[in-house]
Structure 1
Amino acid sequence: MKNLKLVAIVFALVFATSCKKKKKEEVTETEVEEIVTEKSTEKKLTISLSPKSDSKVEGSVTFKEKDGIVSMTAKMTGLSEGEHAIHIHEKADCSSADGTSTGGHWNPTNQPHGKWKAETGYHKGDIGNFKVAADGEGIVTLTTDEWCIGCGDDTKDIIGKAIIVHQGTDDYTSQPSGAAGSRISCGGIIE
């Protein structure tokens, strides 16, 4: 009889312990799914910029998208002191020595060229001008809901486009490109 009671107690302990473990595993799996789902809304893409038109301008551009907002940070070296323009162009083709293989400014909504967010219109690729100090380093940042990374919307998707850095400044009025001068650095926006 004592042996039967002992077997019953051992069986009850094993059963209770296995139920607790199973319950903990189920909670852990749910937590992991929530984390994975949350991270799937974030995208990050970094591209390299290469010299064009016999310049020494190189660098990188990082795009991050979260909750429908894209932030861009471009970091460049080898620039001459002063102001330069930076734009998104139509094609991720940096094969030509002068960067013209990228086509014109990315303008999927057929607007006139202008300053970013101008009431008179602007291209989705009209990022604008930035200042460079004597050290030749430049940094540009922009945050917008007008771009996306790989969403498939022809009016927002930056994949398949290119970043172009220009020798001169964008005057924001000359059509169709702001008379920003030669293309001195290029990077295809490719996943």
Structure 2
Amino acid sequence: MNTSRFYTYTALIALISIACLATGCEKIPTQIITTEPVDKIAVATITHTDGSGITGTATFTEVGAGIHVTIEVQNASAGLHAMHLHTGSCAEIGPHWHPMEIPAGTPGIPVVQATLNTPPIGVGEIGNISVSEDGTGTLAFTTPFWSLGGDPNTDILGKLLLIHETGDTFLTNPHHAHTMNMQMDMNMDTQTVEPHEHLPGTPPHSHANTSAIVPPIQPGGGARIGCGMITLIQ
């Protein structure tokens, strides 16, 4: 390079630098990459608990201030089947999940029908799913009473989705129902009957011979036929 040209270029660069210091040069914008928050998704894979053969999948997706739920079952008997949330594991099923006290006389509204103005009888009382003659059924709803993480009073992660042999009336306070045997406890003060769920393999208590026909709907939903744990996948 020509020496005089070199010095000319050097002087020009120096002048530009001085001008930038004095007046400020436009900075090259820095690109900031942001990621949109991803909605959480959880699933429960339903398997049979008593040899019924029922299978299915439940999907739970965060949407705004609630959870959208889609429950699909296959190989189930036609009719209504009650669904509840329990604690424990499918190998050792615990009691119904009811983190908040349920006042006596609470209307028997399951989660699937509940609104903020008419809350459910218990956040673990899901509702009934209707199964057609081909053994399949689908139930979809959105609820503000559940979350995937966070508040322990609404967090359904790690809970069990239980499916029963019949539909549930959802008329009995769940704190007083769903114990070990299907028995009728008469409260002599109020003359109210509190029915209880029985576990598979334990015969119902009865004072007379009963028919083997299972009623289409009963308090508690009868025996448990399917179970799946709600697990976060996203």
Name the TM-score class by shorter chain: 0.7 to 0.9
CA contact (8 A) 1:114 1:126 kept: no
Q: Deviations over 1:102-127 (max 9, x none)?
A: 22322111225822228585110111
Q: 1:77 to 1:113 in 2, by over 3 A?
A: farther
| Superposed CA RMSD | 2.9
What letter matches 2:72 in structure 1? K
Uncovered stretches (5+) of structure 1, i.e. residues with no partner: 13-18, 96-100
SS at match of 1:127: strand
Correspondence for 1:158: 156
Tell me which residue corresponds to 1:146.
145
**1:174 corresponds to 2:172:** yes
Give ranges in structure 2 of 5+ residues lacking alignment.
17-24, 179-218
1:135 match: 134
Which of 76, 81, 95 is the aligned partner of 2:78?
81
Residues 1:155 and 1:54: Cα distance change in structure 2 (over 3 Å): same
Per the alignment, residue 94 of structure 1 pairs with: 90
Match of 1:115 among 102, 109, 112: 109
In structure 2, C-alpha distance between the alignment counterparts of 1:120 and 1:7, rounded to whole Å: 78
Judged with a 3 Å threshold, the aligned counterparts in structure 2 of structure 1 residues 166 and 113 are, in CA distance, closer, same or farther, namely farther
Distance in 2 (alpha carbons) for counterparts of 1:77 and 1:64: 21
The count of corresponding residues between Structure 1 and Structure 2 is 170
Distance 1:45 1:72 in 2: 10
Q: 1:44 aligns with which of 32, 41, 54?
A: 41
Partner Cα distance (1:83, 1:139) in 2: 11
Tell me if 1:64 matches 2:61: yes
Find the counterpart in structure 1 of residue 203 from structure 2.
none
**Structure 1 residues 113, 180: CA separation in 2 closer, same or farther (over 3 Å shift)?**
farther
1:103 and 2:100 matched = no
Identity %: 28
Q: Give 1:179 deviation, angstroms.
A: 2.5
**Match of 2:169, SS?**
coil
Larger radius of gyration: 2
Counterpart CA distance in 2 for 1:85 and 1:60 is 15
Q: TM-score, normalised by structure 1?
A: 0.75
Q: Does the CA-based 8 Å contact 2:90-2:229 persist in structure 1?
A: yes
CA distance in 1, matches of 2:82, 2:48: 15
CA distance 1:79–1:71, shift in 2 (3 Å): same
TM-score (norm 2): 0.62
Partner of 1:23: 28
Residue 28 of structure 2 aligns to a residue in which SS? helix
What is the alpha-carbon distance in structure 2 between the residues aligned to residue 166 and residue 110 of structure 1? 24
2:224 alignment partner in structure 1: 183
SS of the aligned residue for 1:2 comes to helix
Q: Against the structure 1 CA distance between its residues 159 and 84, is the aligned structure 2 distance closer, same or farther, given a 3 Å change threshold?
A: same
Would you identify which runs of 4 or more consecutive aligned residues in structure 1 move more than 6 Å?
Answer: 7-12
**In the alignment, which residue of structure 1 is the partner of 2:20?**
none
